């Protein structure tokens, strides 16, 4: 008996993530170096782990409010206000979720009618397009280009908007390009967003990780965007808490209420131990002037600068990433496609990177290297990539 026939066409039509494929190959190979997966190489700071342990010791093992614990929501609201000048009511405008991933999924599901279109800048994080599709909508890629520093332009939005366009994803700091958008650039696209009456879903999970003296600007901090914006964020990247699966959404009350409705019937609440850990993460960082986050950020920055120079030295030019922990070198000079390059690189030199096309067709000609890996690994990886390029 075949069970394929039971699978929804919508699900069957979406390919599996192109990131995992290379990571899985690398994990089975001896002496392979993976620059493939996007997560901090730091273990979660001890005070945060300890608070999760304490919560269990004290018997905090029950469901919480569907919205998440109010004490955590208050801290999230305060954190967002302090860092990014937004002001959300913790009672009704903040929802704690199972990672930013769930927050994204809820946002798409809460707004989508069949046929609705969502503008998704590309290349960008692998989940947006499938997320829109699973929710019954139609993702429409808007290409961001290296010559525009991988930012979204007014022209790109204007060219893609149709009467069916309902929302736009704003994915900065960007995975995989490392691009950010300045206040001026965001202000430029804010007008066209309002003109076309679009909802904004702003994924700001890398907000704490920016470099070169540039600070993240939340598009929600623009008065004209605030009432039409859902901010997505989480603890995975800034606090090295990927395994805790803790994230959140902040936005206008009716939209958060709609998202809570789906969340309460599907997830109920995020893990209570993770919620206690999240409280400690924000409280401690706010009390210490973000000392631990800053230490990790500096370490990424050191590795970012190393990669930029080391790749240039072996003849691979890359856009200077200003956020997140990825570098996105241009490999068009090799004459290989992104997939060919990455498959041959892992086969010949046992270095796993992700083809740019895993992040949309617009990623053709690039590959993503995560520099959230030890300096020794990075040095060895670049050496091997250099030898690979020479042999081509």
Least CB distance from residue 171 to ligand PLP, whole Å? Answer: 6
- Least Å distance, CB 120 to ligand PLP, is 12
Nearer to ligand PLP, 128 or 319 (CB): 128
Q: What distance in Å separates the CA atoms of residue 324 and residue 207, rounded to the nearest whole number? A: 8
Nearest to 19 by CA among 132, 126, 172, 150: 126
* 220 vs 336 by CB, closer to ligand PLP: 220
Pick the closer one to ligand PLP by CB: 249 or 331.
249
Nearer to ligand PLP, 35 or 310 (CB): 35
Q: How far is the CB of 247 from ligand PLP (least distance, A)?
A: 4
Closest to 185 (Cα-Cα) out of 214, 208, 228, 226:
214
Q: Among 72, 67, 66, which Cα is nearest to 93's? A: 67
Q: How far is the CB of 60 from ligand PLP (least distance, A)?
A: 22
Q: How far is the CB of 321 from ligand PLP (least distance, A)?
A: 13
State in angstroms the smallest separation of the CB of 187 from ligand PLP.
22
Measured from the CB atom, the residue of 178 and 310 that comes closer to ligand PLP is: 178
Residue number with CB closer to ligand PLP (123 or 171): 171
Q: How far is the CB of 123 from ligand PLP (least distance, A)?
A: 11
The whole-angstrom separation of Cα 40 and Cα 372 is: 6
CB of 97 to ligand PLP, least distance (A): 8
- To the nearest 10 degrees (0 to 180), the angle between helices 272-287 and 46-57 is 140
For 107, residues 6+ apart whose C-beta sits below 8 A from its C-beta are 201, 230, 232, 249, 255, 259
Which DSSP string do the residues of 301-345 spell out, in sequence order?
HHHHHHHHHHHHHTT--B----BTTEE-BB-GGGT--HHHHHHHH
Q: What is the number of the residue whose Cβ is closest to ligand PLP?
A: 99
Between 205 and 318, CB nearer to ligand PLP: 205
SS3 string of 54-71? Answer: HHHHCCCCCCCCCCCCHH
Question: Tokens 């405008």 map to which residue?
Answer: 93
CB of 95 to ligand PLP, least distance (A): 13
Q: Which residues bind ligand PLP (CB under 6 A)?
A: 38, 99-101, 125, 171, 175, 203, 205, 234, 236, 242, 247
Judged by beta carbon, residue 180 or residue 310, the one nearer ligand PLP is: 180
CA distance 116 to 63: 35
Angle between helices 338-349 and 375-391 (to 10 degrees): 110
Three-state DSSP state, 296: helix
Q: In the complex with ligand PLP, which residue's Cβ is closer, 341 or 359?
A: 359
Contacts from 266-270 at CB under 8 Å and sequence distance 24+?
267/97, 267/98, 267/102, 268/63, 268/66, 269/63, 269/64, 269/65, 269/66, 269/68, 269/96, 270/64, 270/68, 270/96, 270/97, 270/98, 270/245, 270/246
């Amino acid at each position: 008996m075949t069970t394929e026939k039971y699978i929804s066409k919508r699900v069957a039509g979406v390919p599996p993530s192109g990131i995992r494929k290379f990571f899985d190959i690398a994990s089975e190979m001896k002496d392979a170096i993976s620059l493939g997966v996007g997560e901090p190489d730091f273990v979660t700071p001890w005070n945060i782990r300890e608070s999760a342990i304490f919560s269990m010791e004290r018997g905090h093992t029950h469901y919480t409010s569907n919205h998440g614990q109010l004490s955590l929501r208050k801290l999230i609201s305060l954190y967002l206000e302090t860092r990014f000048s937004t002001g959300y009511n913790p009672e009704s405008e903040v929802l704690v979720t199972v990672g930013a991933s769930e927050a994204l999924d809820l946002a798409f599901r809460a707004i989508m009618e069949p046929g609705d279109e969502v503008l998704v800048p590309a290349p960008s994080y692998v989940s947006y397009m499938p997320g829109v599709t699973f929710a019954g909508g139609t993702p429409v890629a808007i290409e961001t280009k290296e010559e525009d520093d991988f930012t979204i332009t007014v022209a790109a939005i204007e060219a893609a908007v149709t009467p069916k366009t309902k929302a736009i994803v704003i994915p900065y700091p960007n995975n995989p390009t490392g691009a950010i958008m300045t206040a001026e650039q965001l202000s430029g696209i804010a007008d066209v967003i309002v003109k076309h009456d679009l909802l904004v879903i702003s994924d700001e999970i890398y907000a704490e990780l920016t470099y070169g003296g540039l600070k993240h600007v939340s598009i929600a901090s623009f008065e004209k965007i605030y009432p039409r914006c859902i901010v997505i964020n989480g603890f995975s990247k800034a606090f090295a808490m990927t395994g805790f699966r803790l994230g959140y959404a902040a936005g206008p009350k009716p939209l958060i209420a709609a998202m809570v409705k789906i969340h309460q019937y599907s997830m109920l609440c995020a893990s209570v131990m993770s919620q206690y850990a999240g409280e400690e993460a924000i409280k401690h960082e706010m009390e210490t002037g973000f000392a631990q986050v800053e230490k990790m950020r500096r370490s990424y920055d050191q590795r970012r600068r190393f990669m930029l120079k080391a790749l240039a030295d072996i003849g691979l030019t890359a856009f200077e990433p200003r956020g997140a922990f990825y570098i996105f070198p241009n490999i068009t000079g090799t004459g290989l496609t992104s997939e060919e390059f990455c498959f041959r690189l892992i086969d010949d030199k046992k270095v796993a990177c992700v083809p740019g096309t895993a992040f949309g067709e617009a990623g053709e000609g690039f590959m993503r290297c995560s520099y959230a890996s030890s300096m020794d690994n990075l040095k060895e990886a670049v050496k091997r990539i250099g030898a690979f390029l020479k042999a081509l």
